[in-house]
Structure 1
Amino acid sequence: MHHSTITAFRPSAHQPVLLRRSPCNSGVPTLRQKPIVKGSSFLIVSTGAARLRNFKIVAKKKSIEGVSDQMNAIASQNLDHAPARRRVRLAFTQVQEQLDHVLFKMAPSGIRTDEWFEMNSKGQEIFCKSWLPKPGVRIKAAVCFVHGYGDTCTFFFEGIAKRIAASGYGVYAIDHPGFGLSEGLHGYVPSFNDIVDNVIEQYTKIKGRPEVRGMPRFLLGQSMGGAVALKVHLKERREWDGIALVAPMCKISEEMSPPKQLQKALIFLSRVMPKAKLVPAKDLAELAFRDPQKRKLASADYNVISYSDQTRLKTAVELLNATNELESQVEKVSSPLLILHGAADKVTDPNISKFLYQKAASKDKTLKLYDGSYHSILEGESDERILEVLDDIIEWLDSHCPVR
């Protein structure tokens, strides 16, 4: 991997985030970066159940291979708050684009991109991004992406979005509050339903943009985003022309779910110190990325603004409650449905995708299981499998878009 442009990159300590005003949404103001929150990343570890307020600080960040000491210093910031995450993302954009991954190497050229912030009803700045086909290519529909837990729409999804956009779709994405470039405490989900409501709020605005107004609209949900997408559908059944789910988190697998007794303890502790990072975490790169080279990229922390610390207590409880609730509502799902899942996924259970496929009320539903594939079927498999899954998504979208 060549990094000749990396060490020459010298972002100023006061450099603003370079976000343009959307040409198709001129009413949205350009928002500048707020002051950087300084400090090193840390992990809070409890020193005793009887002394809940007694913590010690443990260093968490590791060095990223192949980048300069200066870049590692930038990446080692405390990312609890959005201004720091925005600065780190800005510094690492060129690094990410040079990674040896099919989503970056084979990304179509000429795709029009735009980035902006929207203020949500809770007063939080929500990061939004769009990818549109080359000028002159007719847009068939809007595809609205819902990212998974800990993730962002500005890393691997860049390559996914460009490929879908090159097939004639307007692709839109947002970062959930507390994730990526959106405001909120990093990795903190005080209410799963608030994430669902924020998706509805932001995509209601996006569906009214001139380039896609009145066109078919689809939700594309990945992992936890699959659960969010299904809950969005259950709240507004007539607003979407279809839902595509990639390894949806309709239920946390037994291997990833804490034991019952621990769950009870987590529920109690979450009421006392909801933001504490105390829930044990497994190595998701090992479980999610089957291809060794791509697993190495994931393990190297190039996705610098992802949330990879131990899960915050309230977040863990909200995810458990959301999946338990969703499992009891799958029979109410009525939208045209595409479900894609790795058959060897140990993060989210492919058997639950089978259950969703069998129980959903949808008359138009498709389930595709990829033999031997892990959780990250769009990022962590062989190049051939990744492109196969992308082609399956595009083929399904094409089959659900009326010819104009």
Structure 2
Amino acid sequence: MLNISQSLLKPHEYHQFKDSFIDFREFPFPEVNPFKIQDLANYRYPSQQSKSKGIIFYIHGYGEYVQRYGYFAKLYAEAGFDFVGLDQRGFGYSNGNKGLLNSAEEICKDLLAHIDGVSKNYSDTETPKYLLGFSLGGFLTTRLLLQRPNYFTAVALLAPFFEFKHVEKFNKAAIPVLREQAVSDPNKKMMLFPMKPLPLEHKLHFVLDPLNQTRDVPAKNLYELNKMRTANIEETVNALNLPFYMCLGEKDQIVDNNISQMIWSQSNSKVKLLSILEGQDHMLFHDHQSAKRVSNEVIAFFNSV
């Protein structure tokens, strides 16, 4: 891949790309399916220190899966955390209707089964538990908090999805049509929104992905995403009453940062930190420099609470 990129890019562009690019295939998880969680693929990167500081439950974004993030998990494991995650049903290597998004309630049911399945394997019931949610996983994280108040020590939300940047697509006339298609033809492919091209080091995360379930958006998925974006904002604000960190990309082309910042400012948490990465798109930790910066900030925050 580097040889191909070298032929396509100018010398200075290639050197910048080479320094930034992460080939996620080179960073496998040490443990695949360590826990029997129904028919759902799950992963664990155990702490690389003598004693674990706690468990980080990673909640992945739309159309993604955890196995792609061994490089990210490794950074937390080196800092002393056990990093675990679950491929959401229908995505990654979990069973289910491939590429079709379940409701938030159904996804959270699976995630809670994973959380409980992992937790029972730790003899110390006081082991700190943290949530780390990216994009759609950020929204799902707030739903988990509503169902498990006072259960988690702290939360980190990375480019959380609370509202689309181009929300005008969901006008009142379109919703009934979308609802009907979600039932009659759930797999019908639909365009999401026009988005600015990603830099090569971010784009390759999708090009190299053997599953690549983000290229098209089925009607059912768009319908479920619309239901999530219209979730009760007050509930979301109230859920974030524990220490939480939020990281946003200044040039995010998918989610509306204004809504995320409003939720951050209105939350009742006494300990919260907002970080905005200058010049960064939605893919906050998909290159070496960004992955290290984001993980260092999350680790420092989790260590401080």
Who is 1:330 aligned against? 236
Who is 1:229 aligned against? 141
C-alpha spacing 1:201/1:267, structure 2 compared with 1 (3 Å): same
Structure with bigger helix share is 2
Matches within 5 A, 1:231-310: 231-254=143-166, 257-273=169-185, 275-282=186-193, 286=196, 289=198, 292-298=199-205, 301-310=207-216
- 3-state SS of the aligned residue for 1:329? helix
Spell out, residue by residue over 1:251-307, the C-alpha distance to the aligned partner (whole angstroms, 9 max, x if none). 22226844442233101222323x2223213476x45x4xx33144135x2112231
Select which of 94, 105, 110 maps to 1:182.
94
Matches within 5 A, 1:370-381: 370-379=277-286
Q: CA RMSD in A?
A: 2.8
Give the Cα separation in 2 of the matches to 1:278 and 1:249: 21
Who is 1:202 aligned against? 114
Aligned amino acid, residue 291 of structure 2? I
Percent identity between matched residues is: 20
Contact 2:166/2:193, CA 8 A, preserved across alignment: no
Unpaired runs of at least 5, structure 1: 4-64, 67-98
Contact 2:22/2:201, CA 8 A, preserved across alignment: no
Unpaired runs of at least 5, structure 2: 6-18
Give the Cα separation in 2 of the matches to 1:165 and 1:326: 35
Who is 1:392 aligned against? 297
Select which of 359, 376, 388 maps to 2:266.
359
Spell out, residue by residue over 1:174-224, the C-alpha distance to the aligned partner (whole angstroms, 9 max, x if none). 000001010011221232210011111111111222376531000000000
Who is 2:219 aligned against? 313
Matches within 5 A, 1:3-402: 101-102=21-22, 113-116=30-33, 124-134=38-48, 137-155=50-68, 157-210=69-122, 213-254=125-166, 257-273=169-185, 275-282=186-193, 286=196, 289=198, 292-298=199-205, 301-333=207-239, 334-379=241-286, 383-400=288-305
Aligned length: 292
Give the Cα separation in 2 of the matches to 1:371 and 1:227: 23
Contact 2:35/2:117, CA 8 A, preserved across alignment: no
Give the Cα separation in 1 of the matches to 2:124 and 2:66: 20
Spell out, residue by residue over 1:93-112, the C-alpha distance to the aligned partner (whole angstroms, 9 max, x if none). xxxxxx972475997xxx98
C-alpha spacing 1:318/1:105, structure 2 compared with 1 (3 Å): closer
C-alpha spacing 1:276/1:384, structure 2 compared with 1 (3 Å): closer
Give the Cα separation in 1 of the matches to 2:220 and 2:24: 35
Contact 1:196/1:232, CA 8 A, preserved across alignment: yes
Contact 1:231/1:326, CA 8 A, preserved across alignment: no
C-alpha spacing 1:250/1:200, structure 2 compared with 1 (3 Å): same
Aligned amino acid, residue 345 of structure 1? D
C-alpha spacing 1:249/1:112, structure 2 compared with 1 (3 Å): closer
Give the Cα separation in 1 of the matches to 2:214 and 2:25: 25
* Greater radius of gyration (CA): 1
Who is 1:85 aligned against? none
Aligned amino acid, residue 44 of structure 2? S
* Deviation (angstroms), 1:133: 2.5
Contact 2:90/2:98, CA 8 A, preserved across alignment: yes
- 3-state SS of the aligned residue for 1:338? strand
- 3-state SS of the aligned residue for 1:218? strand
Who is 1:46 aligned against? none
Spell out, residue by residue over 1:5-27, the C-alpha distance to the aligned partner (whole angstroms, 9 max, x if none). xxxxxxxxxxxxxxxxxxxxxxx
Give the Cα separation in 2 of the matches to 1:343 and 1:349: 10
C-alpha spacing 1:260/1:294, structure 2 compared with 1 (3 Å): farther
Contact 1:175/1:182, CA 8 A, preserved across alignment: yes
* Deviation (angstroms), 1:228: 0.5
When the two structures are superposed, what TM-score results if normalisation uses the length of structure 1?
Answer: 0.66
- 3-state SS of the aligned residue for 1:276? coil
- 3-state SS of the aligned residue for 1:266? helix
Give the Cα separation in 1 of the matches to 2:145 and 2:282: 23
Contact 2:163/2:256, CA 8 A, preserved across alignment: yes
C-alpha spacing 1:372/1:142, structure 2 compared with 1 (3 Å): same
* Deviation (angstroms), 1:138: 1.6
